[in-house]
Structure formats: structure tokens, C-alpha cells
Amino acid sequence: MTFSKLAFAALAALFLGDPVCAAPIKFATLAPDGTDAMKVMRQIDEEMQKKSGGKVKFKFYAGGRQGDEKDMVRKIRVGQLHAGGFTGVGLGEVSPEIRVLDAPWLFENTGEVDHIYEKFAKDFEDAFREKGYELLGWTEVGFVYVFSNEPVRTAEDMKKLKIWVWEGDPIAEAAFGAIGVHPIPLSITDVNSSLQTGLIDAVYSAPLYAIALQWHEKTQHIYSVPLANATGAVLIAKSAFDKLSPENQKLLKEVSAKHLRTLNEKTRRENERAIATLKKQGLKWNTPPAAKDRKTFINAGKKARKELVGRLYSQELLDRIESALSAFRAEAKKTGGGKKKSGS
């Protein structure tokens, strides 16, 4: 190849982006291979390779091979990784204000969750972009319930529990602190052994993951009102995203959003099935609390959310979300719609 042809090729790569032999997008997640989450990511990879002519492809590191979510964020920042699938804990490492979506006793059903995702889409996308990431789609974990060895119906019952809290998670700490519970902070990898030894006698989880992690085998009761809705998302570093051509940027966002939306719908169905499975296996679905006891938890949620203002998110963002939820509930009450399911 002559010098002029080499120069032309270099310029073409510079201005057009997406060279034919593009380096893969290095993607990490705690989700093990074979899970629905990884199956969907492989579907995204397959469709992107096909539609981009092989110019956009992924290399996967599943099952925590690149460390925990804090490690993943650090490696993305230095360019060792380019993208990741995160729970709320990891999202908080990227952009703390996103944790408002995990706030305790904020949502009552999936209709409310969908409404807030849609209404505040630009806010959340901008928040990630300001930190150097592009949002490819939400990967909802689902409504989180308390699993315990003693029945829970009131805040007083919950105070008696030796409940685990994910070490370093301000959301869970604020939630339990607001009702006077003193949780035991542990790494998620220490939960099973701690349930076996009696160091803890209660955990919180989405039903599907309680089964996957085998926590349901060491607990007997489920408190029937969800603690929170746990969010998650797939993010790509803006530095990696910007290397794609505008056409492939658009394609990646469209393909990812489509498949991840399907994953969310499936996760919700699987969580509903998991509740039914847990009941069949003998776990007791505790009777919902009386109105006065439920109000205690509602007030605790308000207190916890307020305590997190300034630490994670602004008062302005919290006020806007709570106001939007109030309006949505009022409209749903008039029309009888907008509820969908919460599992409760």
C-alpha cells in the first residue's frame, strides 16, 4: 500500500469511526453466565454484530470476574472496561442521585415505577452523561421484601430482627434506621454463612434473587409489603460510546433499549412466579399490617428519604418525584388505572 493510500485509510478511520476490526466493548456484570440478564446481553451483542456488519461487538466478563461493582466502576474510569450492568449500589458509585429510585417505601406498584422512569427519563440520562456515561437501558431487580425467621407485621416486630444490610449501602441503612432497626452490615458474599450461624436472621431481596442466592432455604417468613423497588441499569462509558459512528450509536441505544425492556418485563413475571413458588415451599406470606402500622412504615420512608437529601440526591429532585407520584396516584384513583403489580 502506498503512503497516500495509508494516509487516506487513517483519515477515513478518524472521520468515519467504527473501523471494520473495531475493538470489542468490554462489558462486566455480577450476573452469572446463563442468567436471563446475560442471555439478553448476548442477544444485544448478536444483533449489533449483525446490523453493524461486525463493527460493534461485546466481550463479556460475567459473574463478578472483574470484581464487585465498585471495582467495575473504577476499571471503566481508567479504560480497562467500557460498560457494565449495575444494581443500584453500582449506579450510586457513578451518579448518587439515581439512588432516589431505590428510596424506601417510595413506590407502591410497577405502574408508578414506569411513570417515574418515563417522566424523568431526561433527568436520569443527563445525570449519567454528566458523569461520563450513556444509559443503554434499565435492568430492574424488582420489589424488595424482608425475609426473616420470625413473622413481621409491625415496625416493633422488625426491630427485633438481626437483619443484614449490604455493607456501605446508605439507602438500606437509612430505611432501617428510620424505624429504629440496627442492621448488621455484611458483604453480600457473607450472607449465606451468616444465616447458617445465626449472626443474622433476616435479609431483604427481590423474590427471584432470594431463590437464586438460596436465602429462602434459611428463612421462614416474608413481610408482604415491599421495602423498596430495586433498580439497575446498563451503562457504557461515553468515551467508548463516542468512538462509534452516529448511526451505530443510535442503533446501540435502540437495540439495547428493546432487549432490556423485554428483560424487565420478564423479571417482573419471574418475581411474581417466585412469590408463588416460595409460598408452595412453605414460606409464610405475612398478613399485611393494619392501617396504623402501615402508616408507621410510610412515615419512616418519608423520614429516610429526607435524611438522604444532600448525601445522594437534592431536595428539589425528591420533591419533584414525590409530587409526580402524588399526582399519578390521584389520577389513578379517579380512573382506577395505573396500578399494575407490586406483589403485595
276-294 tens-digit pLDDT: 999 999 999 988 888 888 8
Q: What is the pLDDT of residue 84?
A: 98
Looking at residue 120, the DSSP 8-state letter turns out to be T
At residue 79, φ and ψ (nearest 5 deg) are 90, 5
Q: Which amino acid belongs to residue 255?
A: V
Hey, how many other C-beta atoms are within 10 angstroms of the C-beta on 124?
A: 21
Domain 16-140+230-271 matching CATH 3.40.190.170: the answer reads: yes
181-235 tens-digit pLDDT: 999 999 888 999 999 999 999 999 999 989 988 999 999 999 998 999 999 999 9
**Would the CATH topology of 16-140+230-271 be identical to that of 143-229+282-335?**
yes
The Cα 192–Cα 271 span in angstroms is 21
| Residue extents of the structural domains in the chain | 16-140+230-271, 143-229+282-335
CATH code: domain 143-229+282-335 is 3.40.190.170
Q: What is the pLDDT of residue 287?
A: 83
The Cα 98–Cα 83 span in angstroms is 17
Q: What is the pLDDT of residue 344?
A: 47
CB neighbour list of residue 257: distance below 8 Å, 6 or more residues apart: 136, 137
Positions of the chain with pLDDT under 50: 1-17, 19-21, 343-344
Exposed e or buried b per residue across 260-296, where buried means at least 16 C-beta atoms within 10 angstroms of its C-beta: beebbeebbebbbebbeebeeeebebbeebeeebbeb
